[in-house]
Structure 1
């Protein structure tokens, strides 16, 4: 029987379109599969350094994330072991990637570092869309990304079975993919580039004051 501790982690920010790829992968994996053995699935969101204790406990670490590889949108790229930290920081798209590099560095420094790492990354198409969801070319890669991870885990004797009923959700129901997409306001009533409360005033408004 396999005795390795496995952490499967999805990281990213679902509020910024394709930045949510990793979280959507772990969400789908949790909904559709049940694992044998000591396997933990985690929505890491943008927690960054707060994930270090979980990484330190893992023998095998699998990470799903949106990564800017400079490839065509929707392209999956798989990275292993020592190359994972390099790709996490090659072209930073957001603070969570810097934070996760630090997580790996801290885990290595303390001597509690996974013996095997897999990064399943997808090239984003759109990031500057606040409140937006995955673009179609990125969403289409969720299932292939999961298949890649499952195939990788079989090398360690770790298997998963399809299930008919869903596991307990890893994040609030309002953030699951279907509810999130259906509940989005139309473009006329929702800002697409950030929180309008924190935008600088337009030139005309500045002069008026």
Structure 2
């Protein structure tokens, strides 16, 4: 089972990029074992969707200072060293924490194939519309993910 988890706040313009990718993928024909999750801003929700998954793809917005719409793909081996969080509450529990805590809780039921796509944002203004560069990147990431899962299933 593959799960694609989109994170972000769709009420804050480009911050909804991860959720936008999931919504874009919902309109595509994907294999039956691909689950699409709109996790919004709830890191704890991300954690609950990890148990027993074969492959996990997380998509979120990023603020790195790069050009808006710049894409980053972080492979799972770089995520394996995430330290367990300390002093967390539900208000600051993000997908990074979900990976670290999920690994501790689920042990051998924790997925070993995890990757993260990050999309550089331009705006965190209140509003439902993404900026053009980020909207284009959302479509591009959806294309990349759809291509990956279709290729994996045909191989």
Q: Give your verdict on TM over 0.5.
A: yes
User: 2: distance between equivalents of 1:28 and 1:140?
Assistant: 11
Matched, 1:122 2:119: yes
Residue 17 of structure 1 deviates from its aligned partner by 0.8
Distance 1:86 1:19 in 2: 25
CA contact (8 A) 2:3 2:56 kept: yes
Q: Which residue of 1 aligns with 2:87?
A: none
CA RMSD of aligned residues (A): 2.4
Counterpart Cα distance in 1 of 2:3 and 2:77: 17
Q: Number of paired residues?
A: 146
Whether 2:41 is the aligned partner of 1:46: answer yes
Q: Deviations over 1:156-193 (max 9, x none)?
A: 3269xxxxxxxxxxxxxxxxxxxxxxxxxxxxxxxxxx
Closer/same/farther in 2, CA of residues 64 and 96 from structure 1, 3 Å limit: farther
- The equivalent residue for 1:135 is 131
Aligned to 1:24: 20
Deviation at 1:147, TM superposition (A): 1.7
Aligned equivalents of 2:79 and 2:91: distance in 1?
A: 15
**What is the DSSP-based 3-state SS (H/G/I as helix, E as strand, rest coil) of the residue aligned with 2:51?**
helix
CA distance in 2, matches of 1:25, 1:55: 18
- Which structure has more relative contact order (CA 8 Å, sep 6+)? It is 2
Please list every run of 5 or more consecutive structure 1 residues that lacks an aligned counterpart in the other structure. Answer: 88-94, 160-209
| 1:61 equivalent in structure 2 | 56
Q: TM-score, normalised by structure 1?
A: 0.63
Q: Distance in 2 between matches of 1:158 and 1:48?
A: 32
Deviation for aligned residue 1:24: 0.8
Q: CA offset at residue 64 of structure 1?
A: 1.4
Alpha carbons of structure 1 residues 15 and 74: separation in structure 2 relative to 1, 3 Å: same
TM-score, reference length from structure 2: 0.82
Could you give the per-residue CA deviations for residues 58-102 of structure 1, whole angstroms, max 9, x where no partner exists?
A: 110011111123311111111110324789xxxxxxx98842122
- Matches of 1:139 and 1:156, distance apart in 2: 26
Q: Which residue of 1 is the match for residue 77 of structure 2? A: 82
Q: Distance in 2 between matches of 1:149 and 1:97?
A: 27
Higher Rg: 1
